[in-house]
């Protein structure tokens, strides 16, 4: 059964859902395509009424939306509330700014008039992951709906209640049938949807493996795609950083969402001068985390999203150790019910250890000691991933220089990589292509159309 809610805190199966039949999928596709023909022709202001209403509903019922996030994937309740608010902020941001972002842009041709308009494309299909079960949907749906597209979404199998709650949100906000459609579908049906001529673009957020499959299918059908894939963000600590504050951010950057963020700090690269002190303080802070019920505000260490995610990560850690890595702390399942893992630090990870190039999606930190800034930059760049990264230093100009030398889509100075409605999000290399959020995200699935006015008497 692909679509089921299982509480990772105690293993209880909460609900299961059937997949759509092919004829139900066809009916949904036809409704979406029909909806596009009217949705594309209404004004930004009219679309903004619906989209603003969706933001308002989420803002006014934060606890209600947060509950299935906690129950289905084990996010700590305060973080789940934060995700609901962030999602509502993103939706509001596009309701407010989309018209300005997509306003016609006048060109300055050598003669006559010309402008670029931004026209919607049609049905856009999203394949989305469970780790931020509303935020991922909000950053895909809100810009597209405001641009005049309609969206269909295949959400991850383990968060069906969040997927359905988000679809209900749009209905309640007054969106016409077909504007936002949640699809409980199989991988084969995903393939069929991408190939369907009524679908004009594909956005995936997820793993590199899924990205390759979905991007290949989109390419085969000459559909534009965006890919927001995995990462192995470097968290660089230079010798002049404020160590106590840096360690606090290291814990946040590693442990937010129990380490299950594409932009979690995954590789801690610390210059020799402060490496021992950093490692000691980092361990102390990680040891202080308290596992427990994610609904309890006193809990600071939640379970992983699923039992299988835990098994995968434990296996990855033990393979890393077999290949020569040293376990500084953790590495085991916590002896209690639920998918809990000890906060873990690995070091001595040599380039020939597969762990050197893998993404660890959970509470596992890879620790590297380097001589100086140049070595830190070289190590940070020695990765197939290129999503985000951060550098901690008291010297902002120096931080900017380091940021400039690192091959990722995002670099943060004195903060782990993070997100906001008005900051573009995305990567390079195996972390994918395209951007979501900010004024850039809304440009991905629009037709940048040239409209030229020429003199009818112009010489041929
Ligand atoms: P995943 O296995 O790739 O799943 C993501 C989505 O793709 C799910 O809806 C999944 O459906 C679907 N999917 C997977 N294989 C597919 C296939 N062959 N055909 C069609 N659909 C397929 O990723 P995950 O493990 O859930 O999420 C974690 C990954 O996402 C990490 O690598 C993380 O770094 C990355 N991520 C990236 C960003 C970003 O913005 N760059 C943000 C968040 C997460 P099922 O659930 O039904 O398998």
Cα 261 to ligand 1 centroid, rounded to whole Å: 12
In a domain, 460, yes or no: no
In a domain, 194, yes or no: yes
Question: Residues 195, 259: one domain?
Answer: no
175 to each of 39, 145, 185, 198, how far by Cα in Å? 9, 10, 22, 20
pLDDT of residue 341: 98
Q: How would residue 1 be classed by pLDDT, with cut points 50, 70 and 90?
A: confident
Q: How would residue 458 be classed by pLDDT, with cut points 50, 70 and 90?
A: confident
Q: How would residue 422 be classed by pLDDT, with cut points 50, 70 and 90?
A: very high
Question: Residues 114, 200: one domain?
Answer: yes
Does 313 contact ligand 1 (Cβ within 6 A)?
no
Tell whether pTM > 0.85.
yes
For the domain that residue 313 is a member of, what is the CATH number? 3.40.309.10
Cα 278 to ligand 1 centroid, rounded to whole Å: 33
Question: Residues 195, 59: one domain?
Answer: yes
Strands 180-182 and 150-154: parallel
Average pLDDT on 38-46 reads 98
Catalytic-labelled residue, pool 35, 162, 262, 373 = 262
pLDDT of residue 460: 82
| Helix pair angle (22-39, 187-195), 10° resolution | 40
Average pLDDT on 42-50 reads 98
> How many structural domains compose the chain?
2
**pLDDT single digits (tens) 100-158:** 999 999 999 998 899 999 999 999 999 999 999 999 999 999 999 999 999 999 999 99
Average pLDDT on 210-221 reads 98
Average pLDDT on 320-331 reads 98
**pLDDT single digits (tens) 168-192:** 999 999 999 999 999 999 999 999 9
Does 361 contact ligand 1 (Cβ within 6 A)?
yes
Instruction: Report the side by side order of strands in the sheet with 123-127.
Output: 180-182, 150-154, 123-127, 199-205, 224-228, 432-433
Cα 157 to ligand 1 centroid, rounded to whole Å: 10
Q: Which DSSP string do the residues of 357-376 spell out, in sequence order?
A: G----SSEEEEEEESSHHHH
The two structure tokens encoding residue 220: 């085969």
Question: Residues 197, 310: one domain?
Answer: no
**pLDDT single digits (tens) 65-115:** 999 999 999 999 999 999 999 999 999 999 999 999 999 999 999 988 999
Query: Which atom of ligand 1 lies nearest, measured to the CA of 213?
Result: 18
Q: Which domain holds residue 445?
A: 3-229+431-451
Question: Residues 180, 218: one domain?
Answer: yes
Please check the confidence at residue 459 and state whether its pLDDT lies above 90: no
In a domain, 457, yes or no: no
Q: What does DSSP assign to residue 454?
A: -
Is 201 exposed, middle or buried (CB count within 10 Å of its CB: 0-12, 13-18, 19+)? Answer: buried
In a domain, 370, yes or no: yes
For the domain that residue 440 is a member of, what is the CATH number? 3.40.605.10
In a domain, 426, yes or no: no
Tell me how far apart the alpha carbons of residues 333 and 459 are, in angstroms, rounded to a whole number.
78
146 to each of 43, 49, 434, how far by Cα in Å? 9, 10, 18
In a domain, 38, yes or no: yes
Tell me how far apart the alpha carbons of residues 359 and 115 are, in angstroms, rounded to a whole number.
44
Q: How would residue 455 be classed by pLDDT, with cut points 50, 70 and 90?
A: confident
Question: Residues 218, 237: one domain?
Answer: no
Question: Residues 75, 12: one domain?
Answer: yes
Question: Residues 152, 265: one domain?
Answer: no
Tell me, rounded to whole angstroms, the distance of Cα 388 from its chain centroid. Answer: 12
In a domain, 424, yes or no: no
Question: Residues 280, 147: one domain?
Answer: no
Tell me how far apart the alpha carbons of residues 439 and 102 are, in angstroms, rounded to a whole number.
9
Does 229 contact ligand 1 (Cβ within 6 A)?
yes
Catalytic-labelled residue, pool 228, 358, 359, 436 = 228
Cα 156 to ligand 1 centroid, rounded to whole Å: 7
What residues contact residue 178 under an 8 Å CB cut-off, 6+ apart?
28, 31, 32, 33, 34, 35, 36, 150
Question: Residues 73, 116: one domain?
Answer: yes
Q: What is the mean pLDDT of the chain?
A: 98
Say whether 201 sits in a helix, a strand or coil: strand
């Amino acid at each position: 059964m692909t679509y089921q809610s299982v509480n990772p805190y105690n293993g209880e199966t909460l609900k299961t859902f059937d997949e759509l039949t092919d004829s139900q999928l066809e009916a949904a596709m036809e409704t979406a395509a029909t909806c596009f023909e009217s949705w594309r022709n209404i004004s930004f202001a009219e679309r903004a009424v619906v989209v603003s209403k969706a933001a308002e509903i989420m803002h006014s019922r934060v606890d209600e939306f947060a509950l299935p996030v906690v129950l289905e994937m084990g996010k700590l309740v305060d973080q789940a509330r934060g995700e609901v608010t962030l999602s509502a902020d993103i939706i509001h941001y596009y309701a407010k700014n989309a018209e300005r972002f997509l306003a016609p842009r006048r060109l300055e041709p050598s003669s006559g008039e010309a402008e670029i308009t931004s026209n919607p494309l049609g049905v856009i299909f999203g394949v989305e992951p469970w780790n931020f079960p509303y935020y991922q949907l909000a950053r895909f749906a809100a810009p597209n709906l405001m641009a005049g597209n309609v969206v269909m979404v295949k959400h991850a199998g383990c968060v069906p209640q969040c997927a359905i709650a988000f679809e209900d949100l749009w209905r309640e906000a007054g969106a016409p049938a077909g504007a936002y459609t949640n699809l409980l579908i199989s991988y084969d049906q995903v393939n069929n949807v991408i190939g369907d001529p009524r679908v004009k673009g594909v956005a995936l957020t997820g793993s590199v493996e899924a990205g390759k499959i979905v991007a290949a299918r989109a390419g085969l059908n000459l559909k534009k795609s965006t890919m927001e894939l995995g990462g192995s963000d470097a968290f660089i600590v230079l010798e002049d950083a404020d160590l106590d504050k840096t360690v606090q951010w290291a814990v946040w950057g590693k442990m937010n969402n129990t380490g299950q963020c594409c932009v979690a700090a995954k590789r801690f690269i610390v210059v020799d001068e402060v490496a021992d002190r950093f490692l000691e303080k980092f361990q102390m802070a990680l040891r202080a985390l308290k596992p427990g019920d994610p609904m309890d505000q006193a809990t600071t260490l939640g379970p992983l999203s699923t039992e299988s995610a835990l098994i995968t990560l434990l296996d990855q850690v033990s393979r890393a150790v077999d290949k020569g890595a040293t376990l500084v702390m953790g590495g085991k399942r916590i002896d209690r019910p639920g998918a809990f893992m000890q906060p873990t630090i690995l070091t001595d990870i040599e380039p020939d250890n597969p762990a050197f190039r893998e993404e660890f999606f959970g509470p596992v930190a890879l620790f590297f000691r380097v001589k100086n800034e140049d070595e830190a930059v070289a190590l940070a760049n020695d990765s197939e991933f290129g999503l985000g990264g951060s550098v901690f230093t008291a010297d902002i100009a120096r931080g900017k220089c380091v940021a400039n030398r690192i091959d990722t889509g995002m670099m943060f100075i004195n903060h782990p990589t993070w997100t906001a409605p008005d900051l573009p999000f995305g990567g390079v290399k195996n972390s994918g292509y395209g951007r979501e959020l900010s004024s850039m995200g809304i440009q991905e699935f629009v037709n940048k159309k040239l409209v030229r006015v020429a003199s009818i008497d112009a010489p041929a």
